Structure 1
Amino acid sequence: MKYNSQQWFDCARWLRCLSLLVAATVLSATAVAADEADREVPVNRRVLPIAAPWQPPIKVFDARDVKAPPVFSVEAPENAPNVVIIMIDDLGFGGTSAFGGVTPTPTFDRLAKNGLRYNHFHSCALCSPTRQALLTGRNHHSVNMGSITEFATSFPGHTGKLPDSCAKLPEILRLNGYSTGHFGKCHEVAVWEISPSGPLTRWPTMSGFDKFYGFLGGETNQWSPAIYDGITPVDNPAKGDPNYHFMEDMTTQAINWIRAQQSLTPDKPFFTYFVPGATHAPHHVPESYIEKHKGKFDAGWDVIRKQIFENQKRLGVIPADSVLADKPQDIQDWADLTADEQKLFARQAEVFAAYLDMADSEIGRLVDAIDELGELDDTMIIYVAGDNGTSAEGGMRGLYNEMTYFNGVEETVDDMLKHYDEWGSPSTYPHMAAGWAVCFDSPFTWTKQVASNYGGTRQGMVIHWPAGIKAKNGLRTQWHHVIDLAPTILEAAGLPQPRIVNGVGQRPMEGVSMLYSFDGPKAADRHLVQYFEIMGNRGVYYDGWFAGTVHMFPWSPPQNTLQNDVWELYHVAEDFSMSNNLADQHPEKLKQLQEVFLSEAIKYKVLPIDDRRQLRANAVLAGRPTLMGDRNSLTVYEGLGFLPENDFIDTKNRSFEIVAEVETQGQDANGVLVSQGGRFGGWSLYVKDGKPVYTYNFLGLQSFSVTADKPLPAGKSTIKLDFAYDGQSSDGKPKLGAGGTATLTVNGQPAGSGKVGKTQFAVWSADETANVGIDRETPVSPDYTEESSKFTGKIDKITLTVK
């Protein structure tokens, strides 16, 4: 279409009129906006991050002639409290002295006397699920944490990866004006994401915490921990200090962070998540604490269990008519044990009690620091005594080295007694006998892992907040769960649950706020239904009743198929300890609760039930991703390290070779080329006085070494370690844990050969890492320390190939 000149003129005039009209409208809106600029605009905290208010355009040319607008900042609601969550690891209902325990916990008791104890508070029976549920306010399958991260699968509810639709409490608080810090254990990161390649989005500092100082995984050596400051590994945190202990270190870090935060931003509330590795294995504690508990457990677990039970009744944390539930049939009576067994097991309990003592003392140091800042009254402290029941994973005898359990090696009492005097020291990696777990879970039958019994899920818990709770030394009996803590904290801070976080719509929190109970000791329960499930152990609470099945014991395989499990029924409103199974008397009630469980299981992504405990440790069988994938070769370079075994090439149960291209000064060369694991199981290829050495450390119980017959020449060398595995069977399937022959060559010439009698078939370590050019944490070989293990030459590259 063509336009003549008149038409063009009319069109231009019309556009000019339209632009003047738009300009007038904008000026009018600007005037209105300017008039309202000084007015308080309601903050929309349902959408996070909180958007800055709209600023009208400034049309004044000279800055001297106009008032500067305020700089937008996000502030927490007025009177929002500081919040500190403290959670002990692997401690049952009868662990603290405020809940009847025989080990004094003065800090826990101090907070209880000035706050509230909750005696119907529950966990998920396993650490990763409890922690992710606590931090999100949602059921553990809703946040894909059906089990620990090391047992993740590809099924929804079990992937180990937090969905973006379930933002964590620290992220919500941070985006609402809080400072946030995490100290201690983080067992919520998918195992294949713990490497420099990431993604790092689910690490603490990228999922809500401004500060993280702690370890990733289920446990760490408290004397030689593998820890991170943010996303940066901390190289040798002990720095040669013989008295170093991570529990003290993390407490000091937390105190320093809170002090700095209060110095610089005193009007800004802080959220501190303080979660030590204590009292999870390894039970590492200074001798000064152990001395305090010597002889206190000589009476044995049966006597002390009854003592805890009587204490609980005297303190009123269990009803006076409660019955002490039977212990599992597999747990021997103390009187039937040999003198050597009693001696060893009593020592194990002394060290465990000492570890709890130390943890509570360090928590006391944290609480005192907050008090010294004048912030204790305005700080809501939630102290949860356990992320699940006490652990029975030490088996019937306990363990000198916890890794023997995962590799199917049985430790004898005689072998463990050789380490009696050093139990709990850096030369041990210990756990205790299961009888003690049952004891400290009094008055219940079961322990950690058993989600179908309160022994695995009921935790002593205290809330201390003088500015917000009128009652002192109060007891609250309302039924609650860890998913209730996040909604409680948000309500206390005056914050709504957000609908959108970082552009993603949010799944509503599934917990209920506990705030109604603070000043309402007789208030009716608000958490009326809750399912439980961990690897086939499953149950459901429904308005005063509990039904469940113990499908698998912590120390043995499943007792039945999932289809043939026998369910139990308890009227827990009247039977606190679950001592009277009513399944035969009330079959219709049992059927009703089984239907409730199934409904909840479908709703929250619990199905399918997966009881493959050992098989799920194998990533291929479990169906989860691995960093190595199908690769059979990995080339690494100097400086790479801090790699957990899930993120390193797997040399177990197969032949392999390591080829290292190095440059040295010959016989003066020393240090590690590449290593994996440490004192309690691992291997290392290193150079000592110029000679290459390969050492295989079998669970700290036996060591095999091959040393080259002569030093390296000065200059460049190629060192090769060839391991020929002996475990190939006639059917083509490898035998697990067999030995092999290790052969060294230097520049193509034979340099030495020797037998490795046995190998670890399943796990190197829960915390030790693989490193190039150094052996971090604990040393594989006594030939060096971490400090002396740094390679003195130059590493061009190292290639590991499995066959």
Structure 2
Amino acid sequence: MRPDRHARTMLPIPDRPSPGLTTYDAKDPDTAYPPIEPLLPPEGAPNVLIVLIDDTGFGASSAFGGPCATPNAEKLAAGGLKYNRFHTTALCAPTRAAMLSGRNHHSVGMGSITETATSAPGNSSLKPNTKAPLAMTLKLNGYSTAQFGKCHEVPVWQSSPMGPFDAWPSGGGGFEAFYGFIGGENNQWDPALYEGTTPVEPPATPEEGYHLTEDLADHAVSWIRTQKALMPDKPFFVYFAPGATHAPHHVPKEWADKYTGTFADGWDVQRKKTFARQKELGVIPADAELTPRHAEIPAWDDMPAELKPVLEREMEVYAGFLEHTDHHVGRVIDAIDDLGVLDNTLIYYIIGDNGASAEGTVNGAFNEMANFNGMAALETPEFMLSKMDEFGTPTSYNHYAVGWAWAMDAPFQWTKQVASHWGGTRNGTIVHWPAGITEKGGLRSQFTHCIDVAPTILEAAGLPEPTMVNGVQQSPIEGTSMLYSFDEPDAAERHDLQYFEMFGNRGVYYKGWSAVTKHRTPWVMVGGTLAAFDDDVWELYDGSTDYSQSRDVSAEYPDKLHDLQRLFLIEAVKYNVLPIDDRTADRLNADIAGRPTLIRGTSQQFFPGMGRLSENSVVSIKNKSFSVTAEVDVPDGGANGVIIAQGGRFGGWSLYVKDGRAKFVYNVLGIQEFATEADQPIPAGTHQVRVEFAYDGGGLAKGGDVTLYHDGEVAGNGRVGATQPMVFSADETTDIGYESGTAVSTDYTPQTSRFTGKIHWVQIDLGDDDHDHFIDPDERMRVAMARQ
């Protein structure tokens, strides 16, 4: 093996030309220069694939005893190792930021999600340039790098089409290629996609069989094949992060139908079945105990009988979704195997960026936007039953009930967002690397954490931790390499101290012991009373005899509890956890929180071709009067198409032209549609088309009168009976001159939505009757959290 001649602690690696003879004439026989060699990492450095599944609990996948078939995870585990004490942060964006940097989530500014960022260093959503991402380090050492799927680490004020793109994967994230979406969740059938930083449309429609996970796998497979065809000597780093299995739970019907009848016994029985299977597989210790159901989680037997068929279907759809996701992960792995490079590819298959999501309410949802808008009452048992066959299809935006999330976290307590307990933070993980791991089908039980992934990869590649990246001195990586455990099943764990915190739910692990306190229940976002931090009740668990945190021994070991509480505070100071922040309204008000905002004032102008504008990028028309004015050129014979549209099939509004006539449609949650159409066509030539909405007032979600104008003359009148008070969509956007994603109105499709005339400009002006103050602060926080 040749010695590595590069000084790799400083990145980019400084050019160091060798001194020697310089001849005058290139034909001189003494002229000699070494050949130009592409930059490569040290000899033997493996390819790397990280697969990160979304919102999947420890007890969901069949690889870890769950009811959802994941044959590719099982196959990978049979040739590698399972880690049954691997931990995340309890939330998606913090886990991703921590994993990709090797630092704790508050260290890289991601103490929460980007939508609730503050100016405090631990919660700013801004990664310090002293903590370069793993992908950047690998790229600057000669790796080819690519990301496919979800990126929820972009600060909200940087997520518009104008960037800046420093936090985007292919902007400053170190990935040479990116294909996926920016944000917390996406419609699997009609996603808002980016290639690099450029918005692109899906290559097919749901009717043509399109699904996002399959599309992401197609792109990953194509990129890997191309990389190996053109650069066979250069290793790759691929980060495959599908939005699955985050809500909405979208999957082809045949995958959900595989599980028909499987969950008829309900979530209490399912947890017991999973627990027994986990012991049978040996993925939990023989003496582990199944933690009981907390009072906040309803018993299956207490659920309304008429709702149980719907609840069953919710879980059938989720199980099919996870199996479908595993299938497409398997396609990526098979492509690597077909290229003959699987043996020297280090694969992390992390089954969940946090515990299962309990953000779907006690009953689950057909369209989770109803709950986000405080209108869940619209989804009655009768309504849910009428929609049962549509769950998982393109006409749904569904989520499962809290009880199923709890069941999918067996054998642990609690769920996603609860960083204090293993149900929120322990995720089954598989590591596969035949060239670097001797044992096949092994189990590892050392304490590990998502911040350990980056240092493991660097050690496996023979790369030093960089001290300087792009001219900035780097702070030390905070994770611990897991490489020591690959061939030493009984090696003493090296990562023996770790804090956890999310929205005041907090804890600390130290040498087998964990001290934890739950401050907030994820699905109780309105009306719940939060205790003062000092009044939170702490629990103590001895991990040496209690794998699942089932026996609180705080009364028996008060001194140990006090020691660990103090240790939590020390770690909290060290890693920017303080001040602990459980605020609601203040974190959602950008001015109070101290983060920038794109939108100011009561008027906003748009121009043709603008699109993919998130709700953070557009003035809010909710709970108030507003007008939309557009100057357009109409050709002889009339025009058709969208002038401006916000939202989509599951809620939004659109001003468009149909058969030459202006039309305004307000779509409430895909359940009610209110349309106002002009009495006569817009004449040919240049004209101003205007819609005025006069809000009824008196509270939230009220209706109002609609008036259409041509050049200031009344052209039509109508009525909107109700409006959405909080949010139109988690992923749909505002577009000018067309509509991307799904369509607000059935009068057109995204493919037929383009305006056939010419748009000069469009302007939204808000009235002075803003009823925004009626929105309870806790309600705002609930919506922000439910969307992440």
- 1:51 equivalent to 2:14? Answer yes
- 1:581 equivalent to 2:552? Answer yes
Rg comparison, structure with higher value: 1
Pairs within 5 Å for 1:188-207:
188-206=153-171, 207=173
1:787 to 724, 742, 751: 751
SS at match of 2:686: strand
- 1:746 equivalent to 2:710? Answer yes
Corresponding residue of 2:131: 166
Q: Using the alignment, how far apart are the partners of 2:423 and 2:494 within structure 1?
A: 23
Contact 1:397 1:413 in 2 (8 A): no
SS at match of 1:332: coil
Q: Using the alignment, how far apart are the partners of 2:202 and 2:492 within structure 1?
A: 52
- 1:724 equivalent to 2:694? Answer yes
Q: Using the alignment, how far apart are the partners of 1:140 and 1:40 within structure 2?
A: 36
Q: Using the alignment, how far apart are the partners of 1:180 and 1:53 within structure 2?
A: 25
Contact 1:84 1:380 in 2 (8 A): yes
Corresponding residue of 1:697: 667
- 1:98 equivalent to 2:63? Answer yes
Q: Using the alignment, how far apart are the partners of 2:131 and 2:563 within structure 1?
A: 31
1:686 to 648, 656, 672: 656
1:673 to 637, 643, 654: 643
Structure 1 residue 42: Cα displacement: 2.8
Corresponding residue of 1:381: 347
Q: Using the alignment, how far apart are the partners of 1:241 and 1:77 within structure 2?
A: 48
Structure 1 residue 72: Cα displacement: 5.3
- Please list the CA deviations of residues 155-210 of structure 1 after superposition, one character each: whole Å capped at 9, or x if unmatched: 11111111111110010000001000100111111111112221111110122001
Pairs within 5 Å for 1:563-582:
563-582=534-553
SS at match of 2:84: strand
Contact 1:740 1:756 in 2 (8 A): yes
1:246 to 209, 212, 217: 212
Structure 1 residue 738: Cα displacement: 2.8
1:449 to 384, 401, 417: 417
Structure 1 residue 236: Cα displacement: 4.1
- 1:275 equivalent to 2:241? Answer yes
1:711 to 666, 681, 698: 681
Contact 2:193 2:202 in 1 (8 A): no
Corresponding residue of 1:324: 290
Q: Using the alignment, how far apart are the partners of 2:516 and 2:123 within structure 1?
A: 21
- 1:132 equivalent to 2:97? Answer yes
Q: Using the alignment, how far apart are the partners of 1:750 and 1:283 within structure 2?
A: 44
SS at match of 1:570: strand
Corresponding residue of 1:611: 582
- 1:227 equivalent to 2:190? Answer no
Pairs within 5 Å for 1:477-516:
477-516=445-484
Q: Using the alignment, how far apart are the partners of 1:460 and 1:384 within structure 2?
A: 6
Taking a change above 3 Å as real, the CA distance of residues 43 and 183 of structure 1, as seen in their structure-2 partners, is: same
Taking a change above 3 Å as real, the CA distance of residues 615 and 415 of structure 1, as seen in their structure-2 partners, is: farther
Contact 1:50 1:74 in 2 (8 A): no
Corresponding residue of 2:314: 348
Corresponding residue of 1:143: 108
1:757 to 721, 726, 729: 721
Corresponding residue of 1:33: none
Q: Using the alignment, how far apart are the partners of 2:637 and 2:469 within structure 1?
A: 60
Corresponding residue of 2:776: none
Counterpart of 1:390, as a letter, is A
Contact 1:52 1:72 in 2 (8 A): no
Taking a change above 3 Å as real, the CA distance of residues 434 and 533 of structure 1, as seen in their structure-2 partners, is: same
- 1:624 equivalent to 2:589? Answer no
| Alignment gaps of 5+ in structure 2 | 768-788
Contact 1:452 1:532 in 2 (8 A): yes
Q: Using the alignment, how far apart are the partners of 2:637 and 2:358 within structure 1?
A: 50
- Please list the CA deviations of residues 521-550 of structure 1 after superposition, one character each: whole Å capped at 9, or x if unmatched: 111111111111111111111111111111
Counterpart of 2:246, as a letter, is H
Pairs within 5 Å for 1:328-477:
328-410=294-376, 411-477=379-445
- Please list the CA deviations of residues 739-781 of structure 1 after superposition, one character each: whole Å capped at 9, or x if unmatched: 2222211111011222222222222211111100011100011
How many residues matched?
A: 758
Counterpart of 1:690, as a letter, is G
TM-score, length basis structure 1:
0.92
Q: Using the alignment, how far apart are the partners of 1:772 and 1:257 within structure 2?
A: 33
Contact 2:161 2:612 in 1 (8 A): no
- 1:801 equivalent to 2:769? Answer no
Corresponding residue of 2:25: 62
Q: Using the alignment, how far apart are the partners of 1:536 and 1:231 within structure 2?
A: 35
SS at match of 1:370: helix
Corresponding residue of 2:770: none
Counterpart of 1:198, as a letter, is G
SS at match of 2:653: strand
Q: Using the alignment, how far apart are the partners of 2:451 and 2:269 within structure 1?
A: 35
Q: Using the alignment, how far apart are the partners of 1:341 and 1:540 within structure 2?
A: 40
Taking a change above 3 Å as real, the CA distance of residues 40 and 295 of structure 1, as seen in their structure-2 partners, is: closer
Cα RMSD for the two superposed structures: 1.6
| Alignment gaps of 5+ in structure 1 | 1-38, 730-734
Structure 1 residue 416: Cα displacement: 1.4
- 1:121 equivalent to 2:86? Answer yes
Contact 1:667 1:712 in 2 (8 A): no
Taking a change above 3 Å as real, the CA distance of residues 365 and 720 of structure 1, as seen in their structure-2 partners, is: same
Q: Using the alignment, how far apart are the partners of 2:219 and 2:395 within structure 1?
A: 26
Contact 1:214 1:250 in 2 (8 A): yes
Q: Using the alignment, how far apart are the partners of 2:474 and 2:544 within structure 1?
A: 34
Structure 1 range deviating more: 491-500 or 688-697? 688-697
Counterpart of 2:582, as a letter, is D
Structure 1 residue 407: Cα displacement: 1.3
Structure 1 residue 408: Cα displacement: 1.3
Q: Using the alignment, how far apart are the partners of 2:70 and 2:27 within structure 1?
A: 63
TM-score, length basis structure 2:
0.94
Structure 1 residue 317: Cα displacement: 1.1
Contact 2:57 2:351 in 1 (8 A): yes
Contact 1:652 1:759 in 2 (8 A): yes
SS at match of 1:157: helix
Counterpart of 1:704, as a letter, is F
Q: Using the alignment, how far apart are the partners of 1:778 and 1:759 within structure 2?
A: 19
Taking a change above 3 Å as real, the CA distance of residues 700 and 618 of structure 1, as seen in their structure-2 partners, is: farther
Pairs within 5 Å for 1:523-602:
523-557=491-525, 558-602=529-573
Taking a change above 3 Å as real, the CA distance of residues 498 and 303 of structure 1, as seen in their structure-2 partners, is: same
**Alignment identity in percent?**
54
Contact 1:487 1:509 in 2 (8 A): yes
Taking a change above 3 Å as real, the CA distance of residues 621 and 415 of structure 1, as seen in their structure-2 partners, is: farther
Taking a change above 3 Å as real, the CA distance of residues 41 and 240 of structure 1, as seen in their structure-2 partners, is: closer
Structure 1 residue 338: Cα displacement: 2.7
Q: Using the alignment, how far apart are the partners of 1:299 and 1:617 within structure 2?
A: 40
Counterpart of 1:595, as a letter, is R
Corresponding residue of 1:737: 701
Q: Using the alignment, how far apart are the partners of 1:519 and 1:578 within structure 2?
A: 28
Contact 1:142 1:157 in 2 (8 A): yes
1:80 to 30, 40, 45: 45
- Please list the CA deviations of residues 655-709 of structure 1 after superposition, one character each: whole Å capped at 9, or x if unmatched: 2221100011266311000111101111111111111111111121212221111
Structure 1 range deviating more: 767-776 or 643-652? 643-652
